Amino acid sequence: MHEPLPPFETVSRSPRQPPARLRMQSLLFVVTCLTTFAAGAVGWEPLLLGVDPGIAERIAMYWPRGLAYAVAVMAVLAAHEAGHFIAARIHGIPATLPFFIPVPILLTGTMGAVIGMEGSRASRRQLFDIAIAGPLAGLVVALPLLAIGMRTGDAAAASPFALPPLARWILAALRPDIAATGTVVPNAAFMAGWVGLLVTGLNMLPVSQLDGGHISAALFGRRGNWVARGVLLAAIAAIVVLGAYNWVVMVVVVALIGVDHPPIRDDGRPLGPLRTVLGILSFLIPVVTFMPEPLALG
């Protein structure tokens, strides 16, 4: 996922980054390492860091699990953002290093990461390459971790962490001993892969400046805005009908950022058959990775 750079900020085509931004990125990286470490150590529970008196004791007892999860989930997020960053550099589009997003609620310890990019300079082909590179790179790391976590995890009848269709298929292939409605006890590799699927599924929705929104804009041009509007209306309808009010905040954020994709540079070159087919197939990613109800904590 990436956001546009503020209009007052410029990024050169060289790898150098402004010192103030580098300090902020470094701080966010360190804090996210700490929050994901704490999340893994306490066992991925809805605890607020620094509030529950038992957190410190559990971190001291289960720190190896926390360390394993922090390394794994940061690798997933870093791979995703590195895909965007490297593709942007290859195409000469100014981009920043990632801003990791820590959260003090120790379910996952993070909400992912973003990079800044001057997307208005990108052509349709360049925007497509940059957008698709992140999710594919993230899945390359997330899926093996998910598989390892499923293969080595203890069987469980239920878990607060829902499994999307892709995860269900992997579990059925790797663990025939687990019932169709069963799952595994959360472990570091499984949870890192789970977060990777959640982040990818959200980012690949064809709305606004999410990765899926960029791909839609590259494929359909301005007509992609109608796709985004349709998805947003469908999301609002689903929230009302299904009572999935946990997504209200995200819908509001997307609406505030802007549902339509901002204009991009059109050099007159078509995407070509390979990018077009890959782009259309990429819309299956949120179908198999998105979780309408990721958590069941009630």
For 138-167, give the DSSP string: HHHHHHHHHHHHHHHSPEES--SB---HHH
pLDDT of 120: 79
8 Å CB contact between 134 and 195: no
Q: CB atoms < 10 A from the CB of 104, how many?
A: 15
User: How confident is the model over 248-260, as a mean pLDDT?
Assistant: 84
Beta pairing partners, 95: 117
58-116 pLDDT tens trace: 999 999 999 999 999 999 999 999 999 999 999 999 999 999 999 998 999 999 999 98
pLDDT of 257: 81
pLDDT of 298: 52
8 Å CB contact between 29 and 81: no
8 Å CB contact between 109 and 35: yes
pLDDT of 5: 43
User: How confident is the model over 232-244, as a mean pLDDT?
Assistant: 85
**pLDDT of 14 above 80:** no
**pLDDT of 15 above 70:** no
**pLDDT of 13 above 80:** no
178 against 256, higher pLDDT: 178
Backbone angles phi, psi at 138, to 5 degrees: -65, -40
Q: Residues of the chain with pLDDT > 70: what percent?
A: 94
Counting Cβ atoms within 10 Å, is residue 241 exposed (0-12), middle (13-18) or buried (19+)? exposed
Alpha helix segments (H runs only) across 100-223:
124-152, 165-174, 188-203, 211-220
**pLDDT of 132 above 60:** yes
pLDDT of 155: 95
- The span from the CA of 238 to the CA of 252, in Å, is 14
- What tokens does 209 get? 């400046």
Average pLDDT, the chain: 89
Measured on CA atoms in the order 113, 293, 210, 127, is the torsion positive or negative?
positive
186-210 pLDDT tens trace: 999 999 999 999 999 999 999 988 9
Q: Is the pTM of this model over 0.85?
A: yes
**pLDDT of 1 above 50:** yes
Torsion of CA 140, 141, 143, 144, to 10 degrees: 110
139-160 pLDDT tens trace: 999 999 999 999 999 999 999 9
pLDDT of 54: 84
pLDDT of 154: 95
**pLDDT of 170 above 70:** yes
pLDDT of 10: 31
Backbone angles phi, psi at 185, to 5 degrees: -65, 130
pLDDT of 75: 98
Burial 25-52 (b: 16+ CB within 10 A, else e): beebbebbbbbbbbbbbbbbeebebeee
pLDDT of 297: 59
pLDDT of 11: 35
pLDDT of 52: 77
- What tokens does 92 get? 């000469």
